[in-house]
Homo-oligomer: A and B are copies of this chain.
């Protein structure tokens, strides 16, 4: 179907202005944003049928160790995921390659223990946490903190792979530890969550940064089902979340999009997780903002001026289209879904599989209820259901 050649040798000028490591829907939408600006990125892809590969003429398929030669073919390289060899990235960065975001950000997103330590050391509010390498670690932690607790995988899992477990007692915790043998784990105190919030920061090398309005993610069955902006929070909490996100971006010297996930608890904002790339909660910026998170990611990593991050409407809502157990293929229901007036449908070209993110639907409106109702009607139509 296609064949590509990677040219080797550091004396050659880079062939591509932008390389993207990864080939899922984040890479697909980042690729589309670059194309609009006249830039055809090269992908370092995983599988011929991947979402971004279906959309990108310049994809190379390769062992992950080919990263070094891939990087040499591009002026700037950015990343869709955190499943990377950090040591190799460090050497490439030290050799002067434009790895964006830099290894400092990638390490913080990649290694959740490291992320917690960095944030704690710099005075940010994170859950109480500990390594969980043995039953002794469990005992040490639970001697001091109450149940329930949260066990997490230190490294990001593969797409669809579970990475955290709420455990109510020692038995449940031990079961997770034994089930997840071979994965590095950590344990945290459970947060009483009023709301889950995400702030996206777009940042250039050197520190120029812009922040999107706070979005609220609505979970259902531990999947993020709906993303809404404005978040239903007071202006002080919103200002605090944005300020914290900008500070964290500065501390990590983030470049491109940094997504900061917060828990809003009865005691205030607690940092949940960081992602050093465009984020699922930011898809609503495609139609919802003058500059999508993907375009601002491209602008940021290429050190180009950032675009406006305000919203285009009083309310913007995205509903994720997630594979169901009945195996329904949303691409077979496009006609019904497009009949829902005024929604924006995005399908990622992925074959349906239970739990897999297959697409999303965005609606702009005058208020959250109206936008949410529209987006949910579109999602239901795609999934061959009547809307709830």
Contact = CB atoms under 8 A, between A and B. Distances in A.
Interface string A312-341: 100000000000000000110011001101
A110 interface: no
Contacts of A348: 38
Nearest to A349: B38
B54 A40 contact: yes
A316 to B, nearest CB: 13
A2 B338 contact: no
A359 interface: yes
A39 B330 CA distance: 12
Interface size class of A (residues with CB under 8 A): 35 or more
Contact of A35 (B38, B55, B308, B312): B55
Given A2-B3, A36-B346, A335 B55 contact: no
A309 to B, nearest CB: 11
A345 B56 contact: no
A32 interface: yes
Contact of A4 (B1, B28, B334, B338): B1
Contacts of A299: 338
Given A299-B338, A305-B338, A308-B341, A55 B40 contact: yes
A342 interface: yes
Nearest to A335: B304
A207 interface: no
B308 A37 contact: no
A348 B55 CA distance: 16
Nearest to A53: B57
Interface string A288-323: 001000000001000111011000100000000000
Contacts of A339: 305
A38 B304 contact: no
A347 interface: yes
A42 to B, nearest CB: 12
B40 A349 contact: yes
Given A32-B32, A308-B341, A359 B38 contact: yes
Contacts of A346: 36-38
Task: Give the one of A35, A59, A334, A338 with max B CB within 10 A.
Answer: A35
A332 to B, nearest CB: 10
23 contacts: A1-B3, A2-B3, A35-B55, A35-B349, A37-B334, A38-B334, A38-B346, A38-B347, A38-B348, A38-B349, A38-B359, A39-B347, A54-B57, A55-B57, A57-B57, A287-B290, A290-B344, A303-B335, A304-B338, A305-B335, A305-B338, A307-B338, A307-B341
Interface of A: 1-4, 28, 32, 35-40, 53-57, 59, 287, 290, 299, 303-305, 307-308, 312, 330-331, 334-335, 338-339, 341-342, 344-349, 359
